[in-house]
Amino acid sequence: MKLLVIGSGGREHALAWRLLQSPRIQKVFVAPGNGGTAREEGLENVAITAIPDLVAFAQQENIQLTVVGPEAPLAAGVVDAFLAAGLKVFGPVQAAAQLESSKDFAKQFMARHKIPTAAFATFTDAAAAHAYLDAQGAPIVIKADGLAAGKGVVVATTLDEAHAAVNAMLGAVGKPGSMGEAGHRVVIEECLFGEEASFIVMVDGENVLPLATSQDHKRLLDGDLGPNTGGMGAYSPAPVVTPEIHARAMREVIRPVVAGMKAEGTPFTGFLYAGLMIDPQGQIKVLEFNCRMGDPETQPIMMRLKSDLTLLLEAAAEGKLDQVEAEWDRRFALGVVQAAAGYPESPRKGDAITGLGAAGEDFHIFHAGTAIADDQVVTSGGRVLCVTALGDTVKIAQARAYEVAEGVEFAGRQMRRDIGWRAISRKKK
Q: How would residue 146 be classed by pLDDT, with cut points 50, 70 and 90? A: confident
Q: Give which of 224, 245, 243 is closest to 233, Cα–Cα.
A: 224
Question: Tell me, what's the pLDDT at 184?
Answer: 78
φ, ψ of residue 146 to 5 degrees: the values are -90, -170
Give the mean pLDDT of 357-374: 95
Q: Give which of 207, 303, 199, 206 is closest to 248, Cα–Cα.
A: 199
Tell me the three state secondary structure of residue 185. coil
Q: Residue 279: CB partners within 8 Å, gap ≥ 6?
A: 192, 193, 194, 285
Over the stretch 223-264, which tens digit does the pLDDT of each residue have?
A: 999 988 989 999 999 999 999 999 999 999 999 999 999 999
What is the average pLDDT score of the chain?
94
Amino acid at 221: L
> What does the alpha-carbon distance between residue 331 and residue 304 come to, in Å, rounded to a whole number?
7
Percent of the chain that is helix, strand, coil (3-state, to 5) = 30, 30, 40
> What does the alpha-carbon distance between residue 62 and residue 346 come to, in Å, rounded to a whole number?
40
Over the stretch 162-196, which tens digit does the pLDDT of each residue have?
A: 999 999 888 754 444 444 443 478 999 999 999 99
Buried b (16+ CB within 10 A) or exposed e, 380-390: bbbbbbbbbbb
Question: Tell me, what's the pLDDT at 182?
Answer: 38
Contact criterion met (CB below 8 Å) for 156 and 145: no
Q: Residue 390: CB partners within 8 Å, gap ≥ 6?
A: 303, 304, 329, 331, 332, 333, 362, 363, 397, 400
Q: Give which of 304, 305, 302, 308 is closest to 24, Cα–Cα.
A: 308
Q: How would residue 405 be classed by pLDDT, with cut points 50, 70 and 90? A: very high
Q: At what angle do helices 309-317 and 10-20 cross, to 10 degrees?
A: 100
Contact criterion met (CB below 8 Å) for 170 and 184: yes
Amino acid at 338: Q
CA 7, 8, 9, 15 torsion-angle sign: positive
Amino acid at 348: R
Over the stretch 202-219, which tens digit does the pLDDT of each residue have?
A: 999 999 999 999 999 999
